[in-house]
A = this chain, B = another copy of it.
Amino acid sequence: MSAAILTIGTELTRGEIVDANAAWLAERLAELGHEVRQIVSVPDEVTSIQTNLQRLCGDSSLVFCSGGLGPTSDDITAAALAAMAGVPLETDSGTLACIERRLTEFGRSMTESQRKQALVPRGSFALVNPRGMAAGFELQWSGATVYSLPGVPDEFRSMFLESIVPRLPKAPDGAPLQLMLRCFGLGESQINDTLAGIEAEYDVELGYRVTGPEVLVKVLSRGTDSVAKADRAITVVRSRLAEIVYGEGFESLAATVGQLALQRGWTVGCAESCTGGLVSQLITAEPGASDWFAGAVVCYAERIKQQLLGVDPMVLSRAGAVSEPTARAMAEGGRQRLGVDLCLAITGVAGPSGGTPEKPVGTVHFAVASPQGTQHEVHRFHGSRERIQRWSAIAGLSLVRRTLAAAKRD
């Protein structure tokens, strides 16, 4: 049961908006066991829409269209599909009644362009739009089922979930199953080498996705015993990758750290220099972070390290701001001043300037102070300022994760 997605709009092919509908829908379809074979974006042009739709209907049994159903002159999807199917457009009376009701609520009257939003190809099944005005529809054509939905993300998503999912054919037995492990600490190619042989031995496919510093390892299995095969393979992957695996599925590193902190009953704080608040931002992006995260000092200026974290000026002047002693003093001072059980400190050279031969751009010192003492690590990252900051933040969170996991085992 293969599927295709056609997103329609010149704003897409001009790159003015990112095609978030397609990714959202592809993910839902994968969850439902339908394999998306192609995602295509075309401008608001009748020929482009028709040519691509004909091709996609030949390749896939389910084709989903997004966009071009609104009230303005550049909204031409319904007309293009009707012409392709050789049927006229006709007004869906249910949708027209909804539009009238909405306009009355707003105290407005019906215009010709609003009326246009109730037009669907004759013979199609009109789909209600609970969040907007334009009707969607389902059209049988050339052996495929074509769904057409408005491109406004909120409308697109709710109509798919509420009107289309109940009408979708069930995915075939033995639909592919995918499990995903999240890793930090080795590069994609090292992980690939570590996992050599697993594909053949366990009859699965391995895939990799690099999202900045993190590498996601995907285990895909097909066929009748796909669940058992995936389970066996993932156990082996986990044991080979050991400590670098921090989570599963779509769980973030910050969320994993939060779970461990809650299990351990520890509060957490940060003293951030070169990451400038990024670690705190990643943590507080998680709902419920206030249950375990107290706060942070972003000590960008050297005097803040002294005044707010109590770092000894002698340590700063002797070892320098980017050094093991300063990182340790920041973590220990932060732990005390923030009143937390565990404090992560990060100090480094994010660049592009500020590097020296001894401490080149990308040199970053980490320390974690906890009831079990203070751990230190130093790393050298490469690339842009943004990249160094992101790698530093993830490496810092990873150190916290390992500290919490080790403490848990004690």
Contacts and interface: CB of A to CB of B under 8 A. Distances in A.
A15 B11 contact: no
Given A41-B22, A199-B73, A277-B278, A293 B284 contact: no
What 3 A-B pairs come out closest when comparing CB atoms?
A: A276-B284, A15-B27, A15-B26
Contacts of A352: 287
A43 B16 CA distance: 24
A48 interface: yes
Contact of A298 (B210, B274, B296): B296
A239 interface: no
With most chain B CB atoms within 10 A of its CB, the pick from A17, A18, A30, A383 is: A18
A234 B19 CA distance: 27
Contacts of A40: 38-41
10 contacts: A10-B207, A15-B25, A40-B41, A73-B206, A74-B206, A114-B189, A270-B298, A295-B297, A296-B296, A297-B297
B48 A42 contact: no
A114 B9 CA distance: 39
A193 B108 CA distance: 14
B36 A72 contact: no
Given A72-B189, A188-B71, A48 B39 contact: no
Contacts of A18: 18-20, 23
A52 B23 contact: no
Nearest to A189: B71
A254 to B, nearest CB: 11
A218 B36 CA distance: 32
- Contact size range, A: 35 or more
A27 B14 contact: yes
A298 B280 contact: yes
A48 B38 contact: yes
Nearest to A301: B294
A41 B43 contact: no
A111 B188 CA distance: 12
Contacts of A105: 382
Interface stretch (A255-263, A384-392, A401-409): A384-392
A304 B28 CA distance: 41
Contacts of A277: 272, 277-281, 283-284, 296, 298
Contacts of A307: 337-339
A170 interface: no
Contact of A17 (B36, B193, B211, B337): B211
A332 interface: no
Contact of A13 (B39, B211, B295): B39
A287 B276 CA distance: 12
A210 B27 CA distance: 24
A264 interface: no
Contacts of A384: 131, 154
A38 B52 contact: yes
Interface in A281-315: 281, 283-285, 287-290, 293-301, 303-304, 307-308
B15 A28 contact: yes
Nearest to A116: B189
A352 to B, nearest CB: 5
A185 B299 CA distance: 30
A192 B72 contact: yes
A92 interface: no
Given A15-B30, A18-B20, A297 B298 contact: yes
